[in-house]
Structure 1
Amino acid sequence: MFRDRTDAGEQLADTVERRGVDPDIVLTIPRGGLPVGRVVADRFDAPLDVVVAQKIGAPSNPELALGAVAEDGSVWRNDGLIEQVTTSDTQFENERSRTREAAREKANRYRDGSFPSLAGKRVAVVDDGLATGATMRACLQCVRAADPEQIAVGVPVGPADRLDELREDADEVVCVETPASFRAVGAYYERFGQVSDEEAMTYLE
Structure 2
Amino acid sequence: MSRRFVDRHEAGHLLGQRLADLALPAPVVVLALPRGGVPVGAEVARALGAPLDLLLVRKIGVPWQRELALAAVVDGDEPQVVVDDEVQRISGVERAYIDAEAARELHEIERRRRVYLRGGAPLSVADATAVVVDDGIATGTSVRAALKALRRRSPRRLVLAVPVAPADTLQALRAEVDDLVCLAQPEPFHAIGLHYDDFHQLDDAEVLADLDALAAARRSPPRGVDAPPPHNGEG
Shared fold, TM over 0.5: yes
RMSD: 1.7
TM, length-normalised to structure 1: 0.92
Q: Which range moves more in the overlay, 35-44 or 90-99? A: 90-99
State the match for 2:105 in structure 1.
Answer: 99
One-letter code of the match for 1:188?
Answer: H
Q: Which range moves more in the overlay, 152-161 or 191-200? A: 191-200
Distance apart, 1:3 and its partner CA? 1.4
Distance apart, 1:28 and its partner CA? 0.4
Matched, 1:48 2:39: no
C-alpha contact (below 8 Å) 1:54/1:135 kept by paired residues = yes
State the 4+ residue runs in structure 1 displaced beyond 6 angstroms.
Answer: none
State the match for 1:167 in structure 2.
Answer: 174
For structure 2, the residue ranges without an aligned partner over 5 or more in a row are 213-235
C-alpha contact (below 8 Å) 2:19/2:48 kept by paired residues = no
Alignment of 1:116-131 (within 5 A): 116-131=123-138
Distance 1:8 1:62 in 2: 26
Distance 1:88 1:192 in 2: 33
TM, length-normalised to structure 2: 0.81
2:11 to 8, 11, 17: 8
State the match for 2:146 in structure 1.
Answer: 139
Q: Identity, % of aligned pairs? A: 37
Distance 1:107 1:138, change over 3 A: farther
One-letter code of the match for 1:62?
Answer: R
Distance 1:100 1:168, change over 3 A: farther
Distance 2:178 2:188 in 1: 26
Distance apart, 1:27 and its partner CA? 0.6
State the match for 1:195 in structure 2.
Answer: 202
Matched, 1:180 2:187: yes
Deviations 1:146-204 (A, max 9, x none): 11111101101110011111112211110001112112111111222222210111121
C-alpha contact (below 8 Å) 2:11/2:163 kept by paired residues = yes
One-letter code of the match for 2:114?
Answer: N
State the match for 1:62 in structure 2.
Answer: 66
C-alpha contact (below 8 Å) 1:71/1:107 kept by paired residues = no
Give 1 or 2 for the bigger CA radius of gyration: 2
SS in structure 1 of the partner of residue 175 of structure 2: coil
State the match for 1:34 in structure 2.
Answer: 38
For structure 1, the residue ranges without an aligned partner over 5 or more in a row are none
C-alpha contact (below 8 Å) 1:37/1:126 kept by paired residues = yes
One-letter code of the match for 1:129?
Answer: G
Matched, 1:76 2:82: yes
